[in-house]
Structure 1
Amino acid sequence: MSQRKAFSSVRNNLSGNLPHSFGQGMPNLQYLFLDFNNLNGFIPDSISNASKLIRIDLSINGFTGFIPESLGNLEFLEHLHLGDNKFISSSSTLELAFLTSLTKCRRLKQLWIGVNPLGGRIPTSIGNFSNSLEMFAAYSCKIQGIIPKEIGNLSSLAVLDLHENEFIGDLPKKLMGLRKLQQLYLHNNKIIGFIPDEICHSENLGALNLTQNHISGALPSCVGNMTSLRYLHLASNRLNSNLPASIWSLLDILEFNASSNMFSGPLPPELGNLKSTTLIDLSVNNFSGEISTTIGGLESLIDLSLAYNSLEGPIPDSLSAVLSLESLDLSHNHLTGEIPMSLEALSYLG
């Protein structure tokens, strides 16, 4: 084993524990892949004896206990995937102490610990991770407390996924302005406050999901300048005011969901500019006025919901031009007139 550089046994039915001496006698091991098995028990501290490890993937097993702080001694570590196990927090202070130890891994690029019942809080030491860190995924971990503002120090971060936890407090301005950030998932938490204007500094952001929080205020008008945005999900918050006119300038956006908020005002003709969009959900808001005939310009649209608003007037005959439409919900408005016979042309409509 001393000469082996990689050990892989993925998608088997391996079970049982790792030996207490695991890692000893493996001075040249660089790659360890044991994901998609039925392994359980603890990860022994001795794993750090395999001091040249570059990648570790123990995800999708049944490991329990604590994530060993000895992993922080692996100076060459670049990828650590421990997601989908049963790890818990080891700290009496409720902070995730192993994160502090991992900040010593100066080459770490990817850290995935999602789907573990960790609990606890993210320590402020998260800001001490190397600028090499590009992906941090800690979703569905029962993590509590605030998102530390120090996470905004991670200038190379491209993917941050903290959804389905118990975070409270405001959105850190420094985090929202990370220039290399491409995907930010904070949905299903208890975050309050406003969406800061700093979000518009994230010029490479392609996916933003803030669904199911307690965020209030207006959507910053500068969001319309974020031409990299493809997925914008804001549903089930307390956002209000009119949607900024600039939002209809996001010509390449694929999904826009702002349902279950308190947005108001008319839907402008510029809505029809979103020719690449496949999903628009503006239901359960306070939109008023008529549905513009320009809605027929949404040539890629598959799902459209404008339900539970105060829209009035006729259903535009131009909707028949949206041939890709599969789901349409205009219920609970104040629409009048007849359903256009031309909608029969929508052969995919369910």
Structure 2
Amino acid sequence: MTINLGDNLRVSPLGLGGMALTPVYGPADPVESLATLNHAVDVGVSFIDTANVYGMGANEELIAKLLKDRRGEVQLATKFGIASNPATGGREVRGDPAYVKESVAASLKRLNTEVIDLYYMHRLDTRVPIEETVGAMAELVAEGKVRHLGLSEVTAAELERAVGVHPIAAVQSEWSIWSRDVEQSVVPAAARLGVGFVPYSPLGRGFLTGTLQVSALAEGDFRRRIPRFADGAIDANQAVVEVIRRVAGELTINGAAATPAQVALAWLLAQGERLGLPVVPIPGTRRSARVDENLGAVSLNLSEAQLAALDQAADAVVGSRSNSPNWVSQDRE
């Protein structure tokens, strides 16, 4: 089963976010990560998402091992735009045409493939007009290096300007029960322009599963720096998880109890139907069992009462989803 995400790009109804397959949330076993990738494709989760910055290229190199024998089974997405800054030890954003061309060449080499199915601008370089960046990306399509274009964390106005240069298949931004700011302007614009939506962190960076112990996060885990994970906010936000748990307790999938993760993903899929655009979440995991669990959400139907309860719970979320100015579209809307 596939769906038309946008610009006639057909993908599986659920994707797999690759970031967690390398050490971002803690140590990752490359053997287990590759096994999880293969299992995902085996069970029909063939839309695989990565980026050049994940593991500083190591994530793309890992996915190359999957592609070696299964390239024709995978809809491959990767990104450019977040660059390390040796001068500060931090990160910078680049969207100049020279960097676009440099980045795609490096990604194609690491992925050991001739073409990328969906190539995203990972973040907007506010120093460069988006028309200039997308124009350089469009050249990659003309050259056969990329099939479709995507944008991550753009505003409605920025999306409109980009579509004026080249068709955009998808917008990728954080979207979940506790991250709904994109519904105000970006999602309606995408629906109107025929652009699909790919929610990243659809499980709230693990929080909405009800299994995350925030106090146990490793010192280097970047979630510790996100405002809504701060001590005061996380206690208040636990109320959202309790509503998700209650809804999960009312549902079964193939005779088994539904899980909070499945409910959170099913809510997003229902939002796509309610708001009139294709929505393909890309939950990340290192474990094959979690792939199977997440996939169950595709067949889970939420009642109007359950959707209303989840909507109401979302209104009580405390804390921002970002701690960096201009890092997410909400800051520029």
Higher percent of residues as strand? 1
Rg (Cα) greater in structure: 1
Higher percent of residues as helix? 2
Where relative contact order (Cα < 8 A, 6+ residues apart) is larger, the structure is 2
Normalising by structure 2, we get a TM-score of: 0.26
